[in-house]
Amino acid sequence: MSRISIPQLAEKRLAGEPIVMVTAYDFPGARAAERAGVDMVLVGDSGAQVVLGHDSTVAVTTDEMLVLAKAVRRGTDTAFLVCDVPFGSTEESDAQAVATAVRFTKEAGADAIKLEGGNPTRLSRIRAIVDAGMPVVGHIGLTPQTAVALGGLRAQGRTAASAARLVREARGIEEAGAFCLVIEAVPAELTALLREALSIPIIGIGAGAADGQVLVLHDLIGVTEGHTAKFVKRFGEVGDATVAAITAYAADVRAGSFPGPEHQYAAAEDAVAAAREALAQ
């Protein structure tokens, strides 16, 4: 099967067929997403938190994101691969944003670049990347890279001013040439209005019904420890299963029952004899 294309994603929106997107940060995660048959894989900068252990997405660098993105590319065949550009890699100028997008496209084989924010400066970045020939996914609502400026990791679009700003940003992002928009942590009613106003697919996360949904892989498989956002649903308990497997392994090693005979290699008799002889010399 060939890779899902932008026109196919647009057709899904028109046909009312929900688009499934999930994040991945390494080869096994990408393989699992691919085998599960998702439409889009996002190398999210949430990897800063869920795989690199930072307490926000801000710290991750372009070089670190590229390592993750290249591994995900190797594991992705048919899913459309979107890569987040990290904080600091597009903020200085349109030229810097294009150079960063080129790295993700050339070095990691990204099909599209995802950029947070929709203020006039961010729209200029989107335009520049699209003009340079690289598809862009927008991201508005709760944008974790600028969460401090938003007053924390909190839902957006709940006041008149915030809702009006989101409408302006969403329209601006479509006009700037993005082919898809991620909307995070906004009231479902607002998402419904934006779906009417826009003609590009809207992927929601904590945004109610949309043309598609995205979740962070580690949240949905149950690896994330502690607090998760209201919009997260755990579809598995892989974290507990992993701890149980390592605990069982440790117990077997400590009891001397692992490795068993079935996990060992047999040596030819003369090899053992030769080793004994060498030791005796």
Segments in the chain forming alpha helices (H)? 6-15, 27-36, 47-50, 62-75, 94-108, 120-131, 160-176, 188-197, 217-220, 238-255, 269-280
Q: Which is nearer to ligand KIV, 44 or 118 (CB)?
A: 44
Q: What phi and psi values does residue 115 have, to the nearest 5 degrees? A: -125, 135
Size, binding site for ligand KIV by CB under 6 A: 12
Rule CB under 6 A: which of 183-202 touch ligand KIV?
Answer: 184
Neighbours of 63 (CB within 10 A): 11
The pairs formed by 238-241 with CB atoms below 8 angstroms and a separation of 24 or more are none
Report the C-alpha gap between 47 and 217 in whole angstroms.
10
Instruction: Tell whether residue 138 is a contact of ligand KIV (CB under 6 A).
Output: no
The residue among 87 and 127 lying less far from ligand KIV, judged by its C-beta, is 87
Measured from the CB atom, the residue of 28 and 259 that comes closer to ligand KIV is: 28
Q: How far is the CB of 172 from ligand KIV (least distance, A)?
A: 19
One residue of 24, 128, 216, 223 binding ligand KIV per CB under 6 A: 216
With H, G, I as helix, E, B as strand and everything else as coil, classify residue 218: helix
Closest by Cα among 91, 133, 137 to 113: 137
Closest-CB residue for ligand KIV?
44
- The binding track of 220-259 with respect to ligand KIV, each residue x by CB under 6 A or -, is ----------------------------------------
Q: Is 184 a catalytic residue?
A: yes
Binding residues for ligand KIV (CB under 6 A): 23, 42, 44-46, 84, 139, 182, 184, 205, 214, 216
Instruction: Please list the active-site residues.
Output: 184
